Amino acid sequence: MQRDDTIDIVKGVGITLVVLGHSGCPTWLHDFVYQFHMPLFFIASGWFFSWKKEFKDFAIRKVQTLYIPFVIWSVVFLLLHNIFFKMGILSAEYGYQGLVNGLYSWKTIIKKTIWIVTTMTQYETSLLGTFWFVRTLFIALFVLYIPMRVVERYRKDSLVALCTIGAIATLLGGWFAYSGTQWVLKPVIDYKVCMALFFIVLGCLLRRMKSYLTSAPLLILVTCIVIFTTAIYPTDMAFRGRGLADWIVLMMAGTAGFIMVYGIIIKMEQLNSVCIGKYHEAMAWIGKNSFVIMAIHPLLLKPASFLKVYLCHLPLGMVGYHPVIPENGGVLDGVFSIGYDPVNCVCGDL
């Protein structure tokens, strides 16, 4: 299938929103971004998904693009864990949602490496927390490919099979949300894998109807849906056990968010502006390198935390907060706080 640069731009927007959501943006913006930023990637994967390849070719491709980079980055960060700890990037007092760190022994490093290689778990969640996406995508693609390849071999109706698999995964995700159960066949099938399958199948279907995704009334409608769901019930891809509302809102906001982003990109391309063309080239490049950005952006946010610690006379260990140092009120204020926090700190000392 010929590469569609528009989807690379969608991924560029997606990874930009990931960084934005981790950078300490205001709560309203954080909630808006989280409604649809990860579904963007799953739908984009579905856009390019094909079950026409032989299993060997499909498996090699996914191992090369997902599994091997996941293992390399995970092992590298694992080996650097003790260095990060001694530098103050990781802390024994502060961390993400109460998760703190300590020095690893070689036995622990070896054990975690085995888990990384065999199950794609035990990676450094403090700095590679977004890697749940890579593992989930890797599993979901194989779960979808195998039955679709069987259907292809027996020359059955692939569209019916695709919709059936998507419906089963979606209903199972709804059962997870309703029952409060997170896993089936732990650690393979969980709520995130089921919702990933929904969005991947959706991406396959939306590709077939892409000419209908750019009408102005539809773009206004989907934008209103994302704003409305953000206002009344913010959610994301995480399993929260709050009931069916999470499941319903995620599907609505994720679908609407992709159509919104895709439609706006197409509308901008139709303007034939040189500036917009350059912007889209940059976003396409970002999209093609989203894996690297996903891996390193938590580290790139740490200078903001060090600067805040220095200017506001905070304990050095607070740099260990992930992704950035929270405010007293609990709202993240990392990169966004650099402009006003130093002023507050200085004025507060006067």
172-205 pLDDT tens trace: 999 999 998 877 776 788 999 999 999 999 999 9
Cβ within 8 Å of residue 298, ≥6 positions away: 22, 126, 127, 128, 129, 322, 323
Q: Which residues pair with 190 in a beta bridge?
A: 183
Instruction: Give the model's pLDDT for residue 345.
Output: 43
Domain range summary for the chain, segments of one domain joined by +: 5-300
Please check the confidence at residue 104 and state whether its pLDDT lies above 90: yes
- Predicted TM-score of the model (pTM): 0.91
Instruction: Give the model's pLDDT for residue 95.
Output: 83
SS3 label, residue 189 = strand
For 158-279, list the strands marked E by DSSP: 183-184, 189-190
Token pair listed for 287: 């999209």
Instruction: Give the model's pLDDT for residue 264.
Output: 94
Please check the confidence at residue 278 and state whether its pLDDT lies above 80: yes
Q: Which of 6, 42, 71 is nearest to 141 (CA)?
A: 42
Q: What is the mean pLDDT of residues 273-299?
A: 93
pLDDT in tens, 306-325: 998 988 888 988 998 888 88
Please check the confidence at residue 329 and state whether its pLDDT lies above 80: no
Instruction: Band the pLDDT of 3: cuts 50, 70, 90.
Output: low
Residue 124 burial (C-beta neighbours within 10 Å; 0-12, 13-18, 19+): buried
Q: What is the mean pLDDT of residues 264-271?
A: 91
In DSSP notation, 240-296 reads ----HHHHHHHHHHHHHHHHHHHHHHHHHHTT--HHHHHHHHHHHHHHHTHHHHHHH
Q: Are 41 and 202 in contact (CB under 8 A)?
A: no
Instruction: Give the model's pLDDT for residue 334.
Output: 46
Please check the confidence at residue 154 and state whether its pLDDT lies above 80: yes
Token pair listed for 30: 């954080």
Would you put residue 94 in left (φ > 0), alpha (ψ -120 to 50) or beta? Answer: beta
Q: Residue with structure tokens 């995704």?
A: 213
Euclidean distance between CA atoms 270 and 276, whole angstroms = 10
- Residue type at position 326: P
Q: How many of the other CB atoms lie within 10 Å of CB of 215?
A: 11
Q: Which one is predicted more confidently, 98 or 61?
A: 61
Instruction: Band the pLDDT of 327: cuts 50, 70, 90.
Output: low
Instruction: Give the model's pLDDT for residue 169.
Output: 95
Instruction: Give the model's pLDDT for residue 263.
Output: 95
Please check the confidence at residue 255 and state whether its pLDDT lies above 50: yes
Token pair listed for 77: 């960060």
Please check the confidence at residue 340 and state whether its pLDDT lies above 50: no
Residue 118's Cβ-side half-sphere holds a number of Cα atoms within 13 Å equal to 6
Q: Which of 131, 148, 127, 261 is nearest to 200 (CA)?
A: 148
- What is the percent of the chain with per-residue pLDDT over 70, rounded to a whole number? 92
Instruction: Give the model's pLDDT for residue 347.
Output: 38
Instruction: Give the model's pLDDT for residue 342.
Output: 42
Instruction: Give the model's pLDDT for residue 346.
Output: 41
Euclidean distance between CA atoms 320 and 97, whole angstroms = 11
Q: Which of 292, 214, 217, 290 is nearest to 258 (CA)?
A: 214
Cβ within 8 Å of residue 326, ≥6 positions away: 332, 333
